[in-house]
């Protein structure tokens, strides 16, 4: 079936699409969950195969028009929900063959300067993806200096977090910080003079605030646990991540809950620990965009794709994952 492409869809290039489709192997049909619909690149590619069914989620209402179009064209095979993927269990009624997460922002969101995700924006400092409880503006104007420092340091892995937090508090005493470019100026003033400009000085602070506002680490951890619960034996979980914290979590989950895990979980009685494996042997191979893709889609340069295959064991909640990354989860809970 032919679908019309809107300018919104054209502004987003799906990362590693052919690699994703090869892993999904949809030619025989199947039930797929696209947890991060965005411009709909993956969903549309899967629907081209006649016997597939796709459920897609996105927390951002701005992609609804693209999804509605697909719902019209694929009435019995496609359904969209505006939802966070941590709430997958409220939507799914049956187990899936493949569940896909393409994390972070779409270029539709990043290029819309009114949303304040980009440090090129001169607009309001918002950064909410949708279904968020706090904006970046509220965060920078209300959090204590200590909490701002922790957020910027832990979620942004920013070395100059102390100075940036201090200067944010100093600036907001004079005037409320409302625009993205006002924050950029504060960050630039706070960075050491000899800062080696490999990346923009604002990158890490903007990343930290975006993660904090949208609770991205809690979303990822709860989302992948829930997805694992809803996978058929032999089903695949595919994750495309864009920064080191995300990849660290995914790598740990796949490595430690797969057949190649060397030591049993310390949270389970010894006789149960053998069954506490959720995935088949994990090969720990990262797939990255080809140089050909990088030529046409430069924003994909930091993308890393990992996937794991669900085994036949019954699902047991992997508390260890929460425990291991509690530093990030606690930081996301710091509020005013």
Ligand X SMILES: C[S@@+](CC[C@H](N)C(=O)[O-])C[C@H]1O[C@@H](n2cnc3c(N)ncnc32)[C@H](O)[C@@H]1O
Task: Between 5 and 146, name the residue whose CB sits nearer to ligand X.
Answer: 5
CA distance 213 to 91: 24
Task: Between 109 and 167, name the residue whose CB sits nearer to ligand X.
Answer: 109
Shortest distance, position 39 Cβ to ligand X, whole Å = 3
CA distance 122 to 127: 13
User: Residue 274, Cα to own-chain centre: how many angstroms?
Assistant: 31
Task: Between 106 and 202, name the residue whose CB sits nearer to ligand X.
Answer: 106
In order, the DSSP letters of 244-271 are: HHHHHHHHHHHHHTBTT--S--TTS-HH
Task: Between 86 and 205, name the residue whose CB sits nearer to ligand X.
Answer: 86
Radius of gyration of the chain measured on its C-alpha atoms:
21
Shortest distance, position 211 Cβ to ligand X, whole Å = 10
Shortest distance, position 198 Cβ to ligand X, whole Å = 23
Can you give the binding site for ligand X, defined by CB under 6 A?
Answer: 12, 14, 36, 38-42, 57-60, 63, 84-85, 102, 104, 106, 129, 219
Shortest distance, position 193 Cβ to ligand X, whole Å = 35
* CA–CA distances in Å: residue 93 to residues 51, 76, 88, 102: 19, 16, 10, 22
Task: Between 57 and 92, name the residue whose CB sits nearer to ligand X.
Answer: 57
Task: Between 59 and 236, name the residue whose CB sits nearer to ligand X.
Answer: 59
CB 223 within 8 A of CB 231: no
User: How many other β-carbons are positioned within 10 Å of the β-carbon of residue 154?
Assistant: 21
Shortest distance, position 144 Cβ to ligand X, whole Å = 26
Shortest distance, position 143 Cβ to ligand X, whole Å = 22
Task: Between 60 and 160, name the residue whose CB sits nearer to ligand X.
Answer: 60
Phi, psi of 57 (to 5 degrees): -130, 150
Task: Between 14 and 156, name the residue whose CB sits nearer to ligand X.
Answer: 14
Shortest distance, position 190 Cβ to ligand X, whole Å = 28
Place of tokens 């340091």: 153
Sheet holding 52-58, edge to edge: 78-82, 52-58, 30-34, 96-102, 231-241, 304-309
Shortest distance, position 41 Cβ to ligand X, whole Å = 3
Q: Where are the strands (E) in 203-326, listed by range? A: 231-241, 304-309
Residue of 229, 228, 234, 315 lying closest to 28 (CA atoms): 234
CA distance 79 to 67: 8
């Amino acid at each position: 079936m032919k679908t019309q492409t809107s300018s919104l869809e054209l502004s987003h290039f799906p990362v590693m699409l052919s690699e994703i489709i090869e892993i999904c192997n949809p030619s025989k049909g199947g039930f797929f969950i696209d947890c991060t619909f965005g411009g709909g690149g993956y969903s549309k590619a899967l629907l081209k195969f006649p016997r597939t069914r796709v459920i897609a989620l996105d927390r951002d209402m701005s992609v609804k028009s693209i999804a509605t179009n697909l719902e019209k064209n694929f009435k019995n095979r496609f359904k969209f929900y505006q939802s966070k993927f941590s709430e997958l269990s409220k939507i799914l009624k049956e187990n899936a063959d493949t569940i896909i997460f393409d994390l972070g922002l779409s270029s539709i969101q990043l290029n819309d300067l009114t949303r304040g995700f980009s440090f090129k924006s001169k607009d309001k400092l918002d950064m909410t993806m949708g279904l968020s409880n706090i904006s970046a503006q509220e965060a920078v104007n209300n959090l204590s200096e200590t909490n701002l420092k922790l957020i910027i340091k832990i979620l942004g892995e920013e070395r100059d977090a102390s100075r940036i937090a201090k200067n944010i508090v100093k600036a907001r005493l004079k005037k409320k910080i409302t625009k993205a470019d006002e924050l950029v100026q504060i960050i630039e003033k706070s960075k050491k003079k000899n800062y080696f400009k490999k990346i923009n000085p604002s990158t890490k602070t903007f990343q930290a605030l975006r993660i904090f506002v949208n609770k991205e680490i809690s979303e990822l951890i709860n989302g992948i646990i829930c997805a694992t619960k809803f996978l058929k034996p032999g089903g695949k979980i595919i994750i495309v991540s864009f920064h080191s914290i995300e990849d660290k979590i995914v790598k740990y989950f796949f490595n430690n809950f797969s057949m190649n895990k060397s030591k049993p979980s310390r949270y389970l009685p010894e006789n149960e620990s053998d069954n506490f494996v959720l995935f088949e042997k994990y090969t720990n191979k990262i797939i990255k965009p080809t140089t050909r893709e990088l030529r046409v889609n430069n924003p994909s340069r930091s993308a890393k794709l990992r996937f794991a295959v669900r085994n036949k064991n019954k699902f047991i909640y992997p508390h260890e994952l929460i425990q291991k990354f509690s530093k990030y989860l606690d930081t996301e809970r710091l509020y005013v």
